[in-house]
Amino acid sequence: MRNFILGAAGILLLAGCGADDKPASSEAVTPVHDTHETSASKDFSIPDGPETGLSGWTEIVITTRNLSQWRSFLTEDAGWEERDSGEIDPALAKLWNIPGDVSGQETVFANIGSKSGFIRFVELEGTDQEMIRVDDRPWDVGGYFDFNVRVLGLRDLREKMIARGWQGDSEPIQYTFGPFEVIEWIARGPDGVRVAFIERLKPTLEGWPDLKAMSRTFNATQMVRDMDAARSFFQGVLGMKAYLEHNGASEVAGPNVLGLPFETATQVPRDVYILHPQGVNEGSIELVKFEGASGRDISERALPYNFGVSVTRFPVENLDATMEAISARGGEFVSEVVELELSGIGPVKIVSMSAPDGARLEIFERLN
């Protein structure tokens, strides 16, 4: 394995590297400065297990009560477009186990030209809702912590976002890892949603032709309480492979993207795994655990009808075969298979799963 050392900023989140940023080795990455016991040496794969047929997720679902704010930000500042919209299919209530007689709208936005990494906003009426992540800190576990996008001109974009009420966990942090120089800002916007905005400074970014202001979404992060349980689910049950792994604390006290106290960043090791069915950073899941810094568990609020980042959706060619393979690998589903219409996609059959810390994943097959 190739060694990997964080720069002086001691940054935790490494998902700033896109598909073209992977180190020269095709293997997962482990740093040399591990100073604590982790699950890194454990193998959670099931070599004899059946193939699941999964690839990366292609859209994030945000359950919202602030669509107009999102529309203004995405279309005026981020350079995105509104792709489709319509009434939600009543069958969504069965998929999401929504109490009450619900109705609502869904609206799909995308980076212009992109074929994945969409955001689907769902507005509901007729059921009680609360925010998934509210009054929280980064080390609180449960649901999705954030998702990642690339940007051009981060500092100018940030000024526009601050005017819209966005707030960061820290100011933008510039750092290096390997040959890359990057600036990153994790900020919270409407519905308590955090987004990691990442700008490549050096070398010139390649492989993102549709990036004009803000790219498609490509990675979603979960803060987890038990890394072994999380890896067992994603790598064992779902058959995902490691794109990147990092274990350790920051090397130098100082500013960091999560707003940790400067000295604490050097004292609290973090375990980070970026996982994907094919081991790439496109529709990937990032798992993060703080060693020795615990917080609240808000996983019970991570229900798809509550406000915030609620679901990642994974397309497959044959849902029945995928479910059979996942079941054989020890997986369980939290909904029955439902047929419904999704705006911008068409008729699908779809099923839901829940990760150990409450984050919802849905697997669907197109029916046309």
Q: How much helix, strand and coil, in percent to the nearest 5, is found in the chain?
A: 15, 35, 50
pLDDT band at 316 (very low <50, low <70, confident <90, very high): very high
Do 363 and 351 meet the contact criterion of CB atoms below 8 Å apart?
yes
With a CB cutoff of 8 Å and minimum separation 6, the contacts of 44 are: 228, 231, 232, 235, 236
Q: Assess contact for 230 and 224: CB atoms under 8 A.
A: yes
* Three-state secondary structure call for residue 256: coil
**Residue ranges of E strands in 189-307:** 194-202, 214-223, 241-248, 270-276, 284-290
Identify which of 58, 11, 59 has the alpha carbon closest to the alpha carbon of residue 31: 11
| Percent of the chain surpassing pLDDT 90 | 78
Q: Which two tokens stand for residue 317?
A: 């060619």
pLDDT digits (tens, 9 = 90+) for 236-274: 999 999 999 989 988 889 999 988 999 998 999 999 999
Judged against a pLDDT cut of 90, whether residue 343 lies above it is answered with yes
44: tokens are 């959670």
CA–CA separation, 162 vs 165, rounded Å?
5
320-340 pLDDT per residue, tens: 999 999 999 999 999 999 999
Contact yes or no for 28/245 (Cβ under 8 A): yes
Task: Label residue 113 exposed, middle or buried (CB < 10 Å: 0-12, 13-18, 19+).
Answer: exposed
d(CA 274, CA 246): 9
Dump pLDDT digits (tens) for 153-170: 999 999 999 999 999 999
Pairing outcome for strands 146-151 and 59-63: unpaired
For residue 304 the two structure tokens come to: 């798809």
Mean pLDDT of the chain: 89
